[in-house]
Structure 1
Amino acid sequence: MSTFLDGVRFSVLDRSRTREGEDPAQALRATVRLAQEVEALGYHRFWVSEHHGVPGVAGSAPTVLAAAVAAATSAVRVGTGGVMLPNHRPLVVAEQFGVLEALFPGRIDMGVGRSVGFTDGVRRALGRDKDDADRFGEQLAELLGWFTGEQTAHPRVHARPAEGLRVPPFVLATGEGAGIAAAAGLPLVIGDLRGRERLLTAVDTYRAAFRPSPWAAEPYVVVAGTVAVAATEAEARRLLVPEAWSLAHSRTLGVFPPLAPPERIEGLPMTEKQRGFYEAGLGGHVHGTEEQVAEALERAVKETGAQEVMVTTSTYDRAALSESYRRLARAVGLTPRDA
């Protein structure tokens, strides 16, 4: 393998996906176990996500889950990918991350995004609507101000214990958020690796517009995407089947189901529309043997100039998922922490 990937960090984002026949508690506990596994393998960060009212996804309270992950680990950085800021008051978010940083100093990351609820019903339950995402830049500035003590929206109010602490902030973006990250002078987390042209445009925009800040002196890019590694390319592609079907199911039936075993999915009758979404869900991801994946990631890093890759893979077979992360760690030359 080329040494081009030397110095590039590799991290993991887990969405606490449930499997058929499994309850949410099992999925959440599995997320904590996976964090322990990837910590031992030498990954840099382990992040958890925020989803509300989504069948098949157990992770609805990322700061709570991050606390459990941080308590079960000792070296890997722990954070959120991300807290969806339009769903929360910035003061409350600052307080939560302040508590995390106070409990686990030097290990907490604060990844925030601008998405709102999955459906109209969820948005109403959260007391939000789609337009709230347009205030993300304003909310982000307030959030950072709670840590520095410079927020002006609420005079004489202070975030405890957040004020004075340094919790590294990251902005999650699918494109338009890149400009907000650049203006705020924050690291950017952007995906996915499949839409390479759009990804490169957003990264170029971010770097060109970046303004140094107390949080980051220069641009920092984390590219996110699905990576599946197995003994053969066919086996790696099969790891993608459960998530591809869940996406096809959600886009045609409106429900995001738990992950199902690939052998059952491959025998399912699908409508033409479902088949189209399913095949699209399988396409473009980085997958294959260790050598194939290392080459593909080397190209992605060279094209984007990314300093870090965040892997977001989901599949039905947890043992196969763990093996994929082990193979990926070998492929990119991570140093095990348990060595």
Structure 2
Amino acid sequence: MNYDTSTKKLSDISFSVLDLASIIEGGTVSAAFHNTVNLAQHAEEWGYRRFWVAEHHSMPGIASSATSVLIGHVAGKTERIRVGSGGIMLPNHAPLVIAEQFGTLEAMYPGRIDLGLGRAPGSDQYTAMALRGDVRNNGQDFPEQLEQLRSYLSADSKHNRVRAIPGEGQDIPIWLLGSSGFSAALSAKLGLPFSFASHFSPENTKPALARYRNNFQPSDVLDKPHAMVGINVFAADTTEEAHKIATSYQQQFLNLIRNTPGQMAPPVDSMEGLWTEYEKAIVMKQLNASIIGNPEQVKEQLQAFLDETQADEMIINSAIYDHGVRLRSYEIVAEITGMK
């Protein structure tokens, strides 16, 4: 199936926020939650469409492990912005539990809840075993779990012996999330919206989007493909400041590849001396789609990324140590895209 390749402007698409409730060095979980809510409130004011939080486990620098609980907290502190998961790692949970949790959220905040689903564990193999109880549960039954979850949310489930209450019959948008072609193909087959993790898997972006669009089958949910892409953005009033604030995320990613995850470190003037040339190559390869610069540079890079992906939406991850600086980064994006 062909998709629209006409030139899109930044003002033509929606922008959203991806937040991991980062715990900074010397900070607390409570402070991380306070910052998450504050960011969501600003995002709503500036015109962002969605505010998603992601499920990760056993990571000292990420506080969003109880994702459904945090979604409810954020939705309760905001008024209009859609709040959801980017995503819930479905193989970690019984589909009935997710149907009930998101049914509860939708009943509390009607028309504002998104359910983004992934199949990765969101952590290391030992934590995955603690969550899933079986090392063989590697997400290969994700399609069956998804079918089960959707059946619980269907109005027809009232005839089933097992029912999700709340959840049954509620219109909760389901997105499939991915960093490879698996979820792209499944989203296409089921006619669901698809969100690709370009912010940490940039090399797979174009193949995954092509697979999704070329194989899309219209459904009761969508009559044509709808793709959202994730992107790291570090925007500041000067180029120098933008490159400096990006070093906190580079350090965080460096710790991940070293298998020593920790809290978010403050930015540094230079990463030289903190990583080897080999480590630098790995980090920069994974993060080479990151957008870093002053407002004019960020606008130019975002437009180039839109030209390349023809995305219908973008969701922005800005893992920045200082909360005020992070707010400014998102504010710049709102200004240059015409939201604000």
TM-score in same-fold range (> 0.5): yes
Which structure 2 segments of 5+ residues have no match? 1-6
What is the Cα deviation at residue 313 of structure 1? 1.3
Aligned residues: 332
Residue 195 of structure 2: aligned partner: 189
1:15 counterpart = 2:20: yes
Contact conserved, 2:89 with 2:118, CA < 8 A, in 1? yes
Distance 1:18 1:140 in 2: 31
Structure 2 counterpart of 1:132: 138
Comparing 195-204 and 3-12, the one that deviates more:
195-204
Kept in 1: contact 2:91–2:137 (CA 8 A): no
Cα 1:19–1:193 change in 2 (3 A) is closer
Q: Report the AA paired with residue 245 of structure 2.
A: L
Q: Which moved more, 1:231-240 or 1:218-227?
A: 231-240
Find the counterpart in structure 1 of residue 4 from structure 2. none
Checking the alignment, whether the CA contact within 8 Å between 2:200 and 2:286 is kept in structure 1 is no
Q: 1:272 to 1:7 in 2, by over 3 A?
A: closer
Per mean C-alpha deviation after superposition, the further-off stretch among 59-68 and 20-29 is 20-29
Q: Deviations over 1:245-271 (max 9, x none)?
A: 11112212x121111111387475444
Letter in 2 for 1:226: N
Q: Which amino acid aligns with 1:173?
A: G
The letter for the 1-side match of 2:263 is P
* Structure 2 residue identity aligned to 1:40: E
Alignment-mate amino acid for residue 173 of structure 2: P
How far apart, CA to CA, are the structure 1 residues paired with 2:172 and 2:200?
30
Q: Which residue in the other structure is 1:198 paired with?
A: 204
Structure 1 counterpart SS, 2:51: strand
Which sits farther off after the overlay, 126-135 or 9-18? 126-135
Where does residue 29 of structure 1 map in the other structure? 34
Q: How far 1:66 moved relative to its partner?
A: 0.3
User: Shift of the alpha carbon at 1:214?
Assistant: 2.0
* Structure 1 contact 192–223 (Cα < 8 Å) conserved: yes
**Residues 7 and 23 of structure 1: is their aligned pair in 2 closer, same or farther, counting only changes over 3 Å?**
same
Asked whether the 8 Å contact 1:87–1:116 carries over to 2, the reply is: yes
Question: Which residue of 299, 311, 315 maps to 1:306?
Answer: 311
Q: What amino acid is aligned across from residue 137 of structure 1 in structure 2?
A: P
**More displaced stretch, 128-137 vs 309-318:** 128-137
Secondary structure of the corresponding residue to residue 264 of structure 2: coil
With the length of structure 1 as denominator, give the TM-score of the two structures.
Answer: 0.91
Out of 54, 60, 63, the residue aligned to residue 59 of structure 2 is 54
Structure 1 residue 241 and structure 2 residue 247: aligned? Answer: yes
1:101-120 residue CA offsets vs partner (Å, 9 max, x unmatched): 00000111111111115222
Any idea what SS the aligned residue of 1:47 has? strand
- The match for 1:228 is 234
What is the correspondence of 1:1-339 to structure 2 with a 5 Å cutoff? 4-126=9-131, 127-129=133-135, 131-150=137-156, 155-175=160-180, 176-192=182-198, 198-252=204-258, 254-263=259-268, 266=271, 269-280=274-285, 283-335=288-340
C-alpha separation between the residues in 2 aligned to 1:269 and 1:304?
A: 33
Cα distance in structure 1, aligned partners of 2:190 and 2:124: 29
CA distance in 2, matches of 1:147, 1:322: 36
Query: Over residues 112-163 of structure 1, what are the superposed CA-to-partner deviations in whole Å (9 max), with x where a residue is unaligned?
Result: 11111522220121124364311111111111111114569x9421111211
What is the one-letter code of the residue matched to 2:310? G
Q: Take 1:3 and 1:125, find their aligned partners in 2: how far apart are those partners?
A: 45
TM-score w.r.t. the length of structure 2 is: 0.91
- Tell me the amino acid that sits aligned with residue 221 of structure 2: W
Change (3 A) 1:259 1:193: closer
Q: Deviation at 1:35? A: 0.6
Residue 149 of structure 1 contacts residue 158 of structure 1 at CA under 8 Å; is this kept in 2?
no
Distance 1:292 1:324 in 2: 13
In 2, are the aligned partners of 1:191 and 1:225 still within 8 Å (CA)? yes
1:206 partner letter = Y
